[in-house]
Chains A and B, each alone.
Chain A
Amino acid sequence: MLNSASDVLTSRKPEFALSMRVLVIEDDKEAASWLIKGLKESGHVADHACNGEDGLALAREGVHDVLIVDRMLPELDGLSVIQQLRQDGFNTPVLILSALADVDERVKGLRAGGDDYLSKPYAFAELLARIEGLSRRPAGEPQATRLEVGDLEIDLLARTAKRAGTEIILQPREFKLLEYLMRNAGSVVTRTMLLENVWDYHFDPQTNVIDVHISRLRSKIDKEFDASMLHTVRGAGYMIRAPQS
C-alpha cells in the first residue's frame, strides 16, 4: 500500500490523494467503462475483469490497492470471489457493488469478507470517497490513541479535542463525527458514509440532517481560528485537512 499508517495519523498528506491501483470486477461493460474513466480522471489506475474467474485471477496477483466487486457476476459470483480471496490470505480492501440494497444483503456481503457495501445506483463521488477511505484503512494497525491533523488533535481515550492547544468542548456524537473525519483526513467522506459510520443508519433520511451537524462541528473547531479545516466538497461530502501554509 502506498499510504502508510503514519500518514493516517498525522496527515502529512499531499493535497491530492495518492494514486491507487484499482481492480474493477464488473460484467456490465458500460458501467465498467464509466467507472474506469472516472477513476482515471481522479488520478487512479484501473484494471478491469468482466467475470468472476478472471477477476479472481487478477486479484491474486496482489498488486491492487482496492477491489471493486459487483455481486452478480458470470462464472463466479462476487461473494465467492471475495471468500476465495480471503481464504487465500489476501486482505486487499473490497468494495461490494450491488443492486440488492437490503440490510440483510449488506450483512451477507460484509460477512463474506467485503469491507464496504454500496448499492446501485450510486453517485460516482460516493464510490470514490469510499474506495479512498478503504485504501487508507490501516490493515492490522495497532489502535491509535491520538489523532492529529494539523494543529487539531483528539485523544481517543480521554475523549478530548484540542486545536492549537485550546480545548474544544464536544458532545459525544460530535466527537465521533470528528474522529471519523480525522481518520479519513484528506479524503472526502460522504453524508451516507457519516450516517453509516457515525450513526449506524443504513438509509438516507429525506431531510438532510447531516449538514447541520457538520456546521455545528465546524463552528466549534474552525470559528475561532484563522484557517478552516473542515471543508464542504460540493456534490460529494466533507473533508477535513490541515490548513495550507
Chain B
Amino acid sequence: MHLSLKLLRTSTFRLAAVYLIVFAVSVGAILAYVAWNTIGILEQQTDDTISAEVEAFAEQYRLRGLEGALDTVRRRSAQEEDGVYLFASPVGRRLAGNLLSLPAQAKGEAGWIEFPYAADGPRGVERHTAKAFHTELQGGFRIVVGRDVEERREFARIIRRTLFWALGLTVVLGVSGGLLMSRNFLRRIDQISATSRAIMRGDFAERMPLKGTGDELDRLSTGLNEMLDQIERLMKGMREVSSNVAHDLRTPLTRLRVRVEDALRTNDKRQYRAALDQTLAEADQLLNTFNALLSIARAEAGEAGEGFASVNLAALVTDIAELYEPTIEDAGGTLEVSAHGDVPVHADRQLLAQALTNLLDNALKYGRPAPNDPVTIKVVCSASDGKAMVEVCDSGPGVAVRDRQRVTERFVRLDESRSEPGSGLGLSLVSSVVKLHGGDIELLDNEPGLKVRLVLPIEDGAG
C-alpha cells in the first residue's frame, strides 16, 4: 500500500497518467470518427442502392407489366448475393424473389423496414437481419427490396469491440507502463537517497549507483559521485592535517614545556635566560609552522581572493632571485637566473612569491652536492604553448622517484635526521599554491640534483 501510494505520487507516474489520458481520448476520438463515418457511408450506399432498385422494379412493372417485373426480380435474386427480394400478390403470396413470405413488418403503403429472415449461408440456413424498402405497386402488388445487413452489423460490432478493446488496452498498458516506469525511476531515486543516507551515517566510501546507460539519472549520479570524491579528498586531507598537526605540533610543544619545567626547577638567572631564548625560538618555529599551514589551507580552499591580478612571472622570478642572490653568494654558492620578457599569469603575487621563496629556501638548504660543497642553483622562467614555466634546479642529491609524490604532502620531510630546521610544509605550500593557480608541480631529475618545475596557465588575452 505504502509503496503503491508512493508510486502514484511520483512525478513520472503523474506525467504518464496525464499523457495516457490525452492519448486515450485522442485514440478514442479518432476511432469513433472513423467508425461513425465508415458505417454511415456504407448504410447510405445500401439505402441508395435499394432505392435505385425499387425504382428500377417499378419502371419494369410499368413498362413490361407483371411478367417483366417478375423476370427482373428473379434475375436479380439469382445475381445479388446479399439481395433480398420479394414480389408478392396483393394478398401477400410470393410470386418471385428469394424471400419466402412477406415480412410481418411490411405494413402500410411504403417504408423502410428491418426484419429477420432465413438466409442460405455456407453452413445451411441462418437467421440474418435484412434492411429493406417495401412498397405497393399499381394493382396491389407489393415488392420488398432489401439487403442482408448481417455482415455490416457484424462489421459495426467488430469496430465497436475493437474500439473498446483498443481503448481498454491503451489504458491498461499505459497505466502499467507508467507504474513500471515510475517504479523503475522510484527504485533508482530510492537507491540514491539510501546511498546518501548511508554516506550521512558516515560510510564515505559509498557511491551513487550507476546503470551505465548515461541517462539523466546516471548523469546526476556521476555529478554527485564527483562531488563526493572531492569531499572525500578534502576530508581525508583535513584528517591527515589534523593528525599531522597533532603530531608535529605536539613534539615541539612537549619540548617547550619540558624546557620551561626544567628552568623552573633551577634558580640560576642565566639558565632562565637561556631557557627563555630557546622557548622564544621554539615558539617562533611553531608560529612559522602554523602560518604555513594557514597559507596552505587558504590556497587549498581555492579562493581566488582580492590578491589576484595580472603578474609578470618573469619579473617576479627575477625579483625573488635578486632577493636571494646575496644570501646564496654569501654561502659560497652560485645562482643563475634566466627570466626574460613578459610572461603574464593571473596570480596572487604574494602567494606565488611565497611559493618561489620556498623553492629557493629548499634549494639553499638541500641543494649542496656534499655537506660542505657550494650550492649551484639555476632558476629558469619561460613561456610556450600557452603555458608559463618556472624551473628551480639545484645540485643536491635530488629526490628519489618513489618519494616525489609523497614529498609534496604536508609534514613530509625526507631529511630523516631533521638536521635542518623546517616544518615539512614548504613543498606542500608550493603544491597547493600552484594548484590554486590552475597549474601543476613536477619534481624531476636535474642530473644531478632536483629540478622542480612549476607549470602555470598563461593569462588569457595576452601573448
- Using a CB–CB cutoff of 8 Å, the interface residues on chain A facing chain B are 101-104, 107, 121, 173, 199, 201-209, 211-213, 216
Contact = CB atoms under 8 A, between A and B. Distances in A.
B422 interface: yes
Contacts of A205: 323, 354, 357, 360-361
A207 B330 CA distance: 13
B322 interface: yes
Given A103-B305, A103-B348, A206-B422, A212 B288 contact: no
Given A173-B322, A207-B324, A207-B361, A103 B307 contact: yes
B301 to A, nearest CB: 11
Interface residues of B, number: 29
B336 to A, nearest CB: 18
Contacts of B291: 101, 203
17 contacts: A102-B298, A104-B305, A201-B353, A203-B295, A203-B353, A203-B357, A205-B354, A205-B357, A205-B361, A206-B358, A206-B426, A207-B360, A209-B323, A209-B327, A213-B323, A213-B326, A216-B326
B324 A209 contact: yes
B294 interface: yes
A117 to B, nearest CB: 13
Contacts of A209: 323-324, 326-327
Nearest to A202: B350
A207 B354 CA distance: 12
A173 B324 CA distance: 13
Contact of A103 (B323, B350, B360, B364): B350
Contacts of A103: 305-307, 348, 350-351
Contact of B327 (A121, A201, A212): A212
The 9 closest A-B pairs by CB, nearest first: A212-B326, A205-B357, A206-B361, A104-B305, A212-B327, A209-B327, A104-B306, A103-B350, A203-B354
Interface in B349-375: 350-351, 353-354, 357-358, 360-361, 364-365
Contacts of B361: 205-207
Contacts of A213: 323, 326
A213 B426 CA distance: 23
Contacts of A104: 305-307
Contact of A203 (B306, B324, B350, B422): B350
B261 interface: no
Contacts of A173: 322
A206 B291 CA distance: 12
Contact of B306 (A101, A107, A201, A208): A107
A212 to B, nearest CB: 4
B323 A199 contact: yes
Contacts of B306: 103-104, 107
Contacts of B354: 201, 203, 205
A170 to B, nearest CB: 14
Contact of A101 (B294, B323, B364): B294
A17 to B, nearest CB: 24
Given A207-B364, A213-B323, 5 more contacts: A104-B306, A205-B354, A208-B327, A209-B323, A213-B326
A201 B327 CA distance: 17
Contacts of B422: 206
Question: Which of B323, B361, B426 has the most chain A CB within a 10 Å cutoff?
Answer: B323
Contacts of B298: 102
Contacts of B353: 201, 203
B185 to A, nearest CB: 46
A196 to B, nearest CB: 11
B319 interface: yes
B139 to A, nearest CB: 120
Residue of A104, A107, A121 contacting most chain B CB atoms (<10 Å): A104
